[in-house]
Amino acid sequence: MTAVEVWRGGVASWECDQMGHLNVGFYVAKSMEALAGVAAELGMPGAFAANAEATLVVREQHIRFLREARPGAPLHITGGVLEMGETDARIMLLMHHQSGELAASFQTVVAHATARDGRAFPWPDRIRARAETLQTDVPASAAPRSIGLAPVETQASLARADQLGLPRTGLGVIDARDCDAFGRMRTETFMHRLSDGIPHFFAGHRPGAVDPDRKVGGAALEYRLIHHAWPRAGDRLELRSGSAGGDPRFRRLVHWLLDPDTGRPWGSAEAIAVSFDLETRKLITLSDAEFARVEADAVQGLGL
């Protein structure tokens, strides 16, 4: 198929983090605008409007961050349909730089659901017909690299987090501004909370920051986010995080977004993270001693 453009915009300075590039939460926010564009191409132009009867509920996302997006960068997103089941679909979104190079990719699993209660129901024939015209494939550069996409039964719970000694990296409450037109937590809010938790997880011991004269930051290369439930305004959140191992170049991190009142999971995420030199913008390979130090903190068997 010919790629269909579903979003066009850019990077504002206030959307960037301390590393000087687009924050992961805003990548997801832009992908959600693009998802609305895909919905329109499928014949659901008002899928995310307050008066919608049917919508697309994001179940999970696989994201690869391929090239930095700095302040002022013009971006656009193309989209298509990878597969469609009875009530769900896997959508491919590709974020491009002006040069045509890929900035990021998003494989987004959605449910065709009632807008108010999020109950999945079958796709109508007219949407299936439109989906046929939007069929696409996963480019090699967007394929999963270090994170699998097989179905999982989540490990996440507050009791299990306590048992494993996972540190608290976030605590708060959902505000009305964090919610969509139907009152459910926005997809990007999940990623924003994970991003906010990273400084707590690495506080005082970011891998690779052994030279006081070297400016070291971090970045995510790949993410898988799974939504288990959708908090609403007033619901509380607690984030627990841990390392699941890695090698001298990358760390595998796992985050559980939990309900501190019931102990049940709102969502879980797995990420591939790296340290990099903020001046050269190059990845940092850890020394044997530094790698041994960070590997000692890994929680064996930790997963989604």
* Residue pLDDT, tens place only, 252-270: 999 999 999 999 999 999 9
**What is the pLDDT, as a whole number, of residue 93?**
98
Q: Hey, how many other C-beta atoms are within 10 angstroms of the C-beta on 133?
A: 13
Q: Which residues contact 227 (CB under 8 A, 6 or more apart)?
A: 58, 59, 60, 187, 190, 266, 267
Place 31 in a pLDDT band, splitting at 50, 70 and 90. very high
Q: What percent of the chain has pLDDT over 70?
A: 96
Rg of the chain over Cα atoms, rounded to whole angstroms, equals 19
**What is the pLDDT, as a whole number, of residue 65?**
97
**What is the pLDDT, as a whole number, of residue 19?**
80
Higher pLDDT pick, 284 / 177: 177
Looking at the domain that runs over 1-143, which CATH code has it been given? 3.10.129.10
Mean pLDDT across 271-278: 86
Place 32 in a pLDDT band, splitting at 50, 70 and 90. very high
Q: Are 158 and 260 in contact (CB under 8 A)?
A: yes
CATH topology of domain 146-304: Thiol Ester Dehydrase; Chain A (3.10.129)
**What is the pLDDT, as a whole number, of residue 1?**
61
Cα separation, 64 vs 66, whole angstroms: 6
**pLDDT tens-digit map of 86-129:** 999 999 999 999 999 999 999 999 999 999 999 999 999 999 99
Using CA of residue 110, residue 115, residue 117, residue 123, what is the dihedral sign? negative
Entry pTM: 0.93
| pLDDT for 209 beyond 60 | no
Residue limits of CATH 3.10.129.10 in the chain? 1-143, 146-304
Cα separation, 107 vs 61, whole angstroms: 6
Mean pLDDT across 142-171: 96
**What is the pLDDT, as a whole number, of residue 208?**
53
Q: For 281-293, give the DSSP string.
A: --B-PPPHHHHHH
**What is the pLDDT, as a whole number, of residue 2?**
65
Mean pLDDT across 225-243: 97
